[in-house]
Structure 1
Amino acid sequence: MLLRETDQKLGLIQAVNRVIQDTRERGRCQHSQVELLRQRIYGLALGYEDLNDHQALRHDGAIQTAVGVLNPLASPSTLHRLEQRHDKQSAVALHEVLLQQFIASFSKAPRELILDFDATHNIVHGEQEGRYFNGFYDEYCFLPLYVFCGQHLLVSYLRPASRGAAHHAPAVLKLLVTALRKVWPKVRIILRADGGFCVPRLLNWCDSAGIEYVIGMASNSKLTAKAGIWRLLSLTGYKASGKPQQHYGEFPYKARTWRQQRRMIVKAEHNPLGNNTRYVVTSLTDSPKRIYDEIYCARGNMENCIKEQKSLFSERTSCHHWWPNQLRLLLSGFAYVLMHGLRRLALQNTVLEKCQMDTLRLKLLKIGGVVIRNTRRIRILLSSNFTYQAVFEKAVLSLRSG
């Protein structure tokens, strides 16, 4: 029921329903499209990854109440047909819903936005459309692109694994920047990514569009030579003290494929495991230490967000055709938005405000109760010994206020 209250507060699934065309004959349909979407997205949030799970779940009184019906919900076959109707046009429209949800989360214009770009792999489950072998992951997989701003999901874009991590990243960034600056013309936008996104096209577009960036870069012989002084300081300091040493520096650098020099930050570290030197190319003017430690390393938060996304079964892209798999990735994304909305809107200043989504699911959503329905009302009875009773009550009050 907390998922339903959060959904009502955000208007999320209604927005999703509006942008997906329902081509069915209404007179022959028992379940509306919005009911199908609620059933599928709530199910993902609750830990039911497969359509087969809904063969039993469709008879659950609590899920029926959350979806808003009193009769059995849709069968796995009906949900399967929903996924098979997905196409490129609806994929674009659904990404616009993600962006509008992000914009609506601000009560006033932000001064700065840091957009985190990253790719991960989804292992394929057979001879699926778009499957390729990726040497880095040593598996047949897809390579979806994710964009987060803080803990807000902006992009969940399925791609084949035959291209690099930065495939289509410049185009995605351009679309995001155009949409964000249309709403907030003066907002400062910073791109943050790892070395897989350090490609000339992306850097050149950022320079021309006035987008600042902090992007990791893989080591090479020229960078190693230029960073020699800081590497030597770390080595000698470690030999003298026996403790890990870190030194930060900067120098101008121009790769062969770049059209101009750029600022390169170096972090030279030496520890018991040996040398560990990292490089970051940036347009920021802060000190090297702050750029690396406080700004670049903060992208580790996105790694946690991707793990949470995977806990909502974003890797379950097991359909044969391409566009149904893209829809599954987006449905997982909407389940993430729903869970993050619950955490952001209802759990502030509680013991669960920073818990991971799979923990939140077990402690606050998948709990025992009794559903009693009659002709006038529906009652859900929870145990008086429920550990998080006070948190549950606070969440309900928070979601129903305002």
Structure 2
Amino acid sequence: MTTECNQTTFEFHPLGRREVVGRFDGGTISSDGGGVLLREVEVRTGILQQFAACFTDHRDADLIEHTVSELVAQRVYALALGYEDLLDHDDLRHDPLLAALVGKGDPTGQDRLRERDRGKPLAGKSTLNRLELTPAGAGEESRYKKIVMHTDRLDALFVNVFLQAHPAPPTRIVIDVDSTFAPLHGHQLGRFFHGYYDCYCYLPLYVFCGEHLLAAKLCGRRTSMGPPGRSP
């Protein structure tokens, strides 16, 4: 016998004079509404657009559905909202709110060129992986990874954002240099064994001026702070 569930409203104990009702007609709902505030910051500062300018895109422009600016925005917004792993984007690529933050004109993805991509307005993990792991020497002849990041532009970006936050360039600054220990539990690229912490880790070095980040470098075996480590 087939069970028929026709109830559309569930009533709970009231909160004072307010009714508490559960319904299923809310449409598309997201728990990441705070992301719209991040987009407001980007509209005012243009930091993500400046970040995207640190890349050169060697892909065929006629075949691109996700621009570098959109890929960068998707990755950064997701990180800010707590989605650190690229695997998260296999689900996030369906999210119309994240698509709206990124600036997609079709946040539902119904107008995608290929039928199998419809309903997925954003890039998946494989496309974002190419954004992050394209080698410096890649070009148009490369098979998959063709979006090259220029580290010199990225280094300059931190300083430029710092200067943009001031009405005039400061005549004197105080720099704070420190590292952050991040233990690793897998075979991540760039890991190394640190003798002082007695485990494999990342040890990024940060340079701050007040609340502004001026530089970030991932320390390796030969550049790590503290007692020397040993190679993996």
TM-score tier (shorter):
0.5 to 0.7
Give the Å deviation of 1:111: 4.4
1:77 matched residue in structure 2: 126
> CA separation of 1:86/1:149 partners in 2, compared to 1, >3 Å: closer, same or farther?
farther
> Which letter maps to 1:145?
L
1:134 matched residue in structure 2: 194
Local SS of the residue matching 2:220: coil
1:159 matched residue in structure 2: 219
> Which letter maps to 1:49?
E
> Which letter maps to 1:57?
L
TM normalised by structure 1 equals 0.39
Larger radius of gyration, structure 1 or 2? 1
> CA separation of 1:39/1:28 partners in 2, compared to 1, >3 Å: closer, same or farther?
same
> Which letter maps to 2:158?
L
2:99 matched residue in structure 1: 64
1:100 matched residue in structure 2: 160
> Which letter maps to 1:58?
R
Asked whether the equivalents of residues 19 and 93 of structure 1 are also in contact (C-alpha less than 8 Å), the reply is yes
CA deviations 1:181-218 (Å, max 9, x no partner) are: xxxxxxxxxxxxxxx6xxxxxxxxxxxxxxxxxxxxxx
Task: Provide the rounded CA distance (Å) in 2 between the counterparts of 1:20 and 1:11.
Answer: 15
- Report 1 or 2 for greater relative contact order, CA contacts < 8 Å, sequence distance ≥ 6: 1
Asked whether the equivalents of residues 132 and 162 of structure 1 are also in contact (C-alpha less than 8 Å), the reply is no
> Which letter maps to 2:53?
R
Give the Å deviation of 1:129: 4.6
> Which letter maps to 1:114?
V
Task: Provide the rounded CA distance (Å) in 2 between the counterparts of 1:82 and 1:157.
Answer: 19
Task: Provide the rounded CA distance (Å) in 1 between the counterparts of 2:135 and 2:162.
Answer: 23
Asked whether the equivalents of residues 74 and 102 of structure 2 are also in contact (C-alpha less than 8 Å), the reply is yes
Local SS of the residue matching 1:137: coil
**Which residue, out of 20, 25, 32, partners 2:60?**
25
Task: Provide the rounded CA distance (Å) in 2 between the counterparts of 1:108 and 1:30.
Answer: 40
CA deviations 1:100-143 (Å, max 9, x no partner) are: 00011001243431100011223334344543211211111232
Pairing of 1:223-234 with structure 2 (within 5 A): none
Task: Provide the rounded CA distance (Å) in 2 between the counterparts of 1:83 and 1:119.
Answer: 23
Structure 2 unaligned residues grouped into runs of 5+ = 1-35, 110-120, 138-148, 227-232
TM normalised by structure 2 equals 0.66
Asked whether the equivalents of residues 141 and 161 of structure 1 are also in contact (C-alpha less than 8 Å), the reply is no
> Which letter maps to 2:41?
T
Which protein is richer in helix relative to its size? 1
> CA separation of 1:130/1:79 partners in 2, compared to 1, >3 Å: closer, same or farther?
closer
1:110 matched residue in structure 2: 170
User: Kindly, what percent of the aligned residue pairs are identical?
Assistant: 42
Structure 1 unaligned residues grouped into runs of 5+ = 166-195, 197-402
Task: Tell me the C-alpha RMSD between the 2 structures.
Answer: 1.9
Task: Provide the rounded CA distance (Å) in 1 between the counterparts of 2:89 and 2:72.
Answer: 13
